[in-house]
Amino acid sequence: MNTNEPTHSQSCSRRLHIPLCWALLIAFDVSLMALTYAQEGNAGTADPPVQSVETEIPGPDDVAADVSRFEAIDVFVDSGNQRLAAWQLQVKSTANDVQIAGIEGGEHPAFAEPPYYDKRAMNSNRVIIAAFSTGENLPSGRSRVARIHVQVRGSGARTWLSELTTSATTDGTKIPAEISLVKVAG
Amino acid sequence: MDILRSRISAVLMLCVAATMCAVQLGCGSEQPTTDSAPSSMPVNSKTSAPALDGNVFEDALESLATGGASARQRGSVLTSPRQRFPGDGSSPRPAVVRATFELMPGEELWVIAKGIDPAVPTNEEMPPGCGALMAKSPDEEKEVPVPLKHTAVVGNIDGYIATVDVTQQFQNPYNSKIEAVYVFPLPDNAAVSEFVMTVGERKIRGIIREREEAEKIYNDARAQGHVASLLTQERPNIFTQKVANIEPGKQIDINIRYFSTLQYDDGAYEFVFPMVVGPRYNPPVTTDGIGAVGRGNQGASGQSTEVQYLTPGERSGHDVSLSLNISAGVNIESVRSINHDVAVKDVTGTERSVTLSASDSIPNKDFVLRYRVAGDKIKTAMMTHKDDHGQYFTMMLYPPAELKKVRRSPMEMVFVLDCSGSMNGRPIDQARAAIAHAVQSLTPRDTFQIINFSSTASQLGEAPVIATPQNIQKGLTYLNSLNGQGGTEMIQGLKAALDFPHDEGRFRLVSFMTDGYIGNDHDILNALSDKLGDSRIFSFGVGQSPNRFLMDRMALIGRGAVAYLSLNDDPVEIMNRFNERISHPAMTDLSINWGNMNVTDVYPQILPDLIVGRPVVVTGRFTGEPSSVKVGGRQGMQPASFTVAVDPADATKEHKGIASVWARLKIMDLMTQFSRTPDQAEELRQTVTQTALEYSLMSTFTAFVAVDSMSKTEGEFGTTVAVPVNVPEGVKYETTVEN
């Protein structure tokens, strides 16, 4: 893949002028070639980098700290033109005065059932949820995959972090997708 | 004198009228008073005395009842004992009780009624709107509107592990919103691991939380008008479901999923789904028991948990459906439902589909299904499961067949009969018949004693007597003299059965015959542990809906076995099985060589004796590869052993329930320690909570909560309405329920 390999090696050899350097540089170039090849060859199945998306959900002002309210947060996954068959994600509030109080399914029939949550990861303000569908009718583009019901205490906005750790097609091929959170109006 | 008598009569009648008027106001008033202070309505005869004709207050009270203000003064009092008016006036009016009286000119009478604001939650005596009461003729059962319409049960049995989905359909039959509260039973070994609330088309998965935390979330949501639900555990087999803010005509479904293991008993598996909590007796001074009160008498028992019961003339529209898919893994020879009509469909030789008949859908007795499998082909086998938490196994240990060839030693049989009010009638008849058969099966090598308890305990004689024909006859006569009445001071029965010197030459076996309707289960179990000594306990749960948690635990602690004696069982057949068991020694001093498996956290922690016809389920965690294990022990004085292999199909089958079943057993074991070691209570509480949260399981200290933040109803949370239930079939309301 590296078409400039001879030139690169020659350049080095001219600079160092010792036989051992030839050997080392050849080994280095071979390793680089192998690594690059491996990355290109696995491009279709490698995990997309997990990115944490920060979302600010507004809240009312002038509310006493011990007064609570219940809100719903919609979780969207945009899988572009790929059909989404499986996903796993984490949603977490940076504040400690938030309690998760229920998990609802999504809008598309494939993910209408309420997703399961990771029991051990469940915390008052953090949840890992996942779902998969074996059906043929699967969503593509931007689709609400879950709705999280939360209890929030006090006034002001809360910051939520969301991470889409897995998104895949029916054959298990991992696909790039984007996650977003939206507070449900009302 | 006559005038004075008539005045006293008038005052008395007015008191009755005022009380009933208050009831009516609470149901039908469109113009409620603003607080709960007494409101009054003067009827001044000064201005209307000339018009008196003996029917002064009829319209006045009627007007009060319907929220109106006009009052034509005539002299009759309307009362409506414990009946409620429809709020919209469209339903038939209840029967009235008419009383007449006279007022003298110049006298003034006041009708005093406690005003009730329908907007303020009241107790169940005042169901909101009351619009659904259907009056029937005296001979007919009166249908009472309840906020639970239907319970649907779908079970799948794979081997001896059952996965059961229970859907409770709550609905509001009244004309203002309500909070429904339902106290219901589940099997005591049920590992409740899923909870989903359905609001319209939307399903919301509940979250397992520490109980106080879950209760706080629920109460906050309820106060803010959100539809919310909360599931708490009061006893290992008694749960409370609350659903807040159900609007008139709306339905909220709650789905609960649990795993449980089946009992195997003399060649047959037994699947049980309890349908009603029997009325419990709570010793005086108890406040954390399970109260039993009549419909609408909320709080009358003074107990932290309370079940409301329909009176004998009432019925509710709540019914139950049940279907069961059995995959036994071996050929099924026969299927028998003990208490219900069912339809059984043969799917394959090893599979059956069972459906409860629609004509037998009143939830007033346990659903008990026994299916006999090809006995000789039953093999002890180990099943395993692996997940993120680790690896688990479960295996059923069957007693070796050789045990049947060995005869037992002489016995000291102690029969303890519950003669409390809940046993009155058919239950005690069944229990007496069973004991009579067992007594007549004894030989002169044995001795026996009969003890009965209710509020106190008494017994046949001071000490056990030899089972001669004369003594047996004497015992039968004594047995026939016993009837059910009074409380259930089981502790007295325990003391009488275990607090006397042990006959060293005989094996003492104590047989409890009871429905187990007590609210202080753990007190009894602790006392049993303390007093057991070398005795063995065989517990018999009597009736259609016995307290199976108590019965099972008594047998486990007592290193014996449990059996159930339904009103539809043949007591002779049940006692013959019992006789067969006790006719052979058990395999004792069990120990297990785990081979290549590194095993931890095995439950039960103390392995019980293996009794003929009664296997033991052992569950635990392990690392390494599953392998055969060797079970050792003693048969009589001789060492004995057998091998348990891994189920050949284990690698290809999923056994998701094993982890939940294991965690449930661990929690039950910890809870036993919790009640026995108060000094370690906090530490044990934390361990129970951590285990329950980690495995998403119900426990005393955890609860499921689900909130629909999208649905916000108007106003406060409305009236709390308990779901009244039938007393179990065969149990008398009059002798068990507080009014």
Rounded to the nearest angstrom, the gap between the alpha carbon of residue B60 and the centroid of all alpha carbons in its chain is 45
Inside any domain, residue B690? no
pLDDT in the model for residue B127: 54
| Distance separating alpha carbons of residues A84 and A178, to the nearest angstrom | 12
Inside any domain, residue B36? yes
| Distance separating alpha carbons of residues B160 and B262, to the nearest angstrom | 5
Evaluate if residue A1 carries a pLDDT over 70: no
| E strand or H helix at A28 | helix A19-41
Evaluate if residue A54 carries a pLDDT over 90: yes
Give tens-digit pLDDT for A21-40: 444 444 444 444 443 343 33
> Looking at B62, B91, B114, which one is the last position of a domain?
B114
In percent, the amount of chain B with pLDDT more than 70 equals: 79
Strand ranges in B467-560 using DSSP code E only, listed in sequence order? 507-514, 536-542
CB pair distance less than 8 Å for A103 and B208: no
Chains A & B: contacts with CB separation below 8 Å = 80
Which residues make Cβ contacts (< 8 Å) with residue B12, sequence separation at least 6? none
CB pair distance less than 8 Å for B693 and A119: yes
Inside any domain, residue B729? no
Say how many C-beta atoms besides its own lie within 10 A of residue B692's C-beta: 30
Evaluate if residue B64 carries a pLDDT over 80: no
Residues from chain B that touch A120, judged by Cβ atoms under 8 A, are 388-389, 694
Inside any domain, residue B110? yes
Total domains present in chain B? 2
| CATH of residue B481 | 3.40.50.410
Inside any domain, residue B86? yes
Mean pLDDT over B529-553 rounds to: 95
Residues from chain A that touch B224, judged by Cβ atoms under 8 A, are 68-70
Mean pLDDT over A169-175 rounds to: 93
Mean pLDDT (chain B, rounded): 81
| Six-digit token string for A15 | 């600079």
The answer to whether B177 and B128 have CB atoms below 8 angstroms apart is yes
Helix/strand number for chain B, H first, E second: 12, 40
pLDDT in the model for residue B322: 98
| Six-digit token string for A27 | 């080994």
Confidence band of B422 (pLDDT split at 50, 70, 90): very high
CB pair distance less than 8 Å for B221 and A151: yes
pLDDT in the model for residue B124: 40
pLDDT in the model for residue B586: 81
Give tens-digit pLDDT for B611-654: 887 788 899 999 999 888 999 998 877 888 888 888 777 767 77
Helices (H), B499-547: 521-531
CA atoms lying within 13 Å on the CB side of residue B137: 1
Rounded to the nearest angstrom, the gap between the alpha carbon of residue B87 and the centroid of all alpha carbons in its chain is 34
Q: Angle CA(B528)–CA(B659)–CA(B614) in degrees, nearest 5? A: 45
> Looking at B582, B612, B630, which one is the last position of a domain?
B582
| Distance separating alpha carbons of residues B617 and A147, to the nearest angstrom | 41
| Distance separating alpha carbons of residues B650 and B288, to the nearest angstrom | 44
**Phi (first) and psi of residue B459, to 5 degrees:** -150, 165
Mean pLDDT over A85-110 rounds to: 95
Is residue A100 less than 8 Å (CB to CB) from chain B?
yes
Evaluate if residue B507 carries a pLDDT over 90: no
Q: Is-above-0.90 flag for pTM?
A: no
pLDDT in the model for residue B383: 87
| Distance separating alpha carbons of residues B536 and B505, to the nearest angstrom | 15
Based on C-alpha coordinates, what's the Rg of chain A? 24
pLDDT in the model for residue B534: 86
Give tens-digit pLDDT for B261-271: 898 887 889 99
| Distance separating alpha carbons of residues A133 and A168, to the nearest angstrom | 10
pLDDT in the model for residue B201: 92
Give tens-digit pLDDT for B424-439: 999 999 999 999 999 9
Q: What is the DSSP letter of B726?
A: P
Residues from chain A that touch B712, judged by Cβ atoms under 8 A, are 186
Q: What is the DSSP letter of B358?
A: G
Instruction: Give the 3-state secondary structure percentages of chain A, helix then strand then coil, rounded to 5.
Output: 20, 40, 40
Give tens-digit pLDDT for B364-398: 999 999 999 876 545 567 889 998 889 999 998 88
Residue B203 has its nearest CB partner, among A114, A122, A151, at A114
Q: Which among B165, B205, B222 is the top mutation candidate for probing chain A, defined by the most A β-carbons within 10 Å of its own β-carbon?
A: B205
| Distance separating alpha carbons of residues B273 and B269, to the nearest angstrom | 13
Confidence band of B79 (pLDDT split at 50, 70, 90): very low
| Six-digit token string for B145 | 């509107």
CB pair distance less than 8 Å for B208 and A114: no
Q: Which of A156-170, B30-44, B77-91, B377-391 has the highest mean pLDDT?
A: A156-170
Is residue A108 less than 8 Å (CB to CB) from chain B?
no
Evaluate if residue B423 carries a pLDDT over 80: yes
State whether the Cα torsion B510-B514-B516-B518 is positive or negative.
negative
Residue A149 has its nearest CB partner, among B220, B224, B708, at B708
> B111 versus B384: which is more confidently predicted?
B384
Is residue A109 less than 8 Å (CB to CB) from chain B?
no
pLDDT in the model for residue B60: 30
CA of A160 to nearest chain B CA: how many angstroms apart?
A: 18
- The DSSP result for B412-457, as a single string, is EEEEEEE-SGGGTTHHHHHHHHHHHHHHHT--TT-EEEEEEESSSE
CB pair distance less than 8 Å for B203 and A186: no
Residues from chain A that touch B208, judged by Cβ atoms under 8 A, are 119, 122
Inside any domain, residue B608? no
B718: three-class secondary structure by DSSP: coil
Say how many C-beta atoms besides its own lie within 10 A of residue B674's C-beta: 21
Give tens-digit pLDDT for B549-586: 999 999 989 988 899 999 999 999 999 988 888 888 78
> Looking at B533, B553, B582, which one is the last position of a domain?
B582
Tell me what ipTM this predicted complex has.
Answer: 0.77
Residue A101 has its nearest CB partner, among B207, B695, B696, at B207
Do β-strands B390-397 and B616-623 pair in parallel, antiparallel, or remain unpaired? antiparallel
Is residue A70 less than 8 Å (CB to CB) from chain B?
yes
The residue segments making up the domain with residue B507 are: 409-582
Q: Which among A63, A66, A107, A151 is the top mutation candidate for probing chain B, defined by the most B β-carbons within 10 Å of its own β-carbon?
A: A151
Evaluate if residue B95 carries a pLDDT over 50: no
CA of B388 to nearest chain A CA: how many angstroms apart?
A: 10
Is residue A119 less than 8 Å (CB to CB) from chain B?
yes
pLDDT in the model for residue B353: 98
Is residue A112 less than 8 Å (CB to CB) from chain B?
yes
Inside any domain, residue B659? no
Say how many C-beta atoms besides its own lie within 10 A of residue B45's C-beta: 20
| Distance separating alpha carbons of residues B496 and B213, to the nearest angstrom | 43
Which chain B residues touch A if contact means CB-CB below 8 Å?
A: 196-197, 202-208, 213, 217, 220-221, 224, 226, 228, 388-389, 693-696, 705-710, 712
A8-27 residues touching B, CB cutoff 8 A: none
pLDDT in the model for residue B130: 42
Inside any domain, residue B462? yes
| Distance separating alpha carbons of residues B397 and B621, to the nearest angstrom | 17
Based on C-alpha coordinates, what's the Rg of chain B? 29
Give tens-digit pLDDT for B431-470: 999 999 999 999 999 999 999 999 999 999 999 999 999 9
Angle between helix axes B58-66 and B2-28 (nearest 10 degrees) is 20
pLDDT in the model for residue A131: 96
Is residue A50 less than 8 Å (CB to CB) from chain B?
no
In percent, the amount of chain B with pLDDT more than 90 equals: 58
CA of A40 to nearest chain B CA: how many angstroms apart?
A: 33
Mean pLDDT over B79-105 rounds to: 35
CB pair distance less than 8 Å for A102 and B206: yes
pLDDT in the model for residue B16: 35
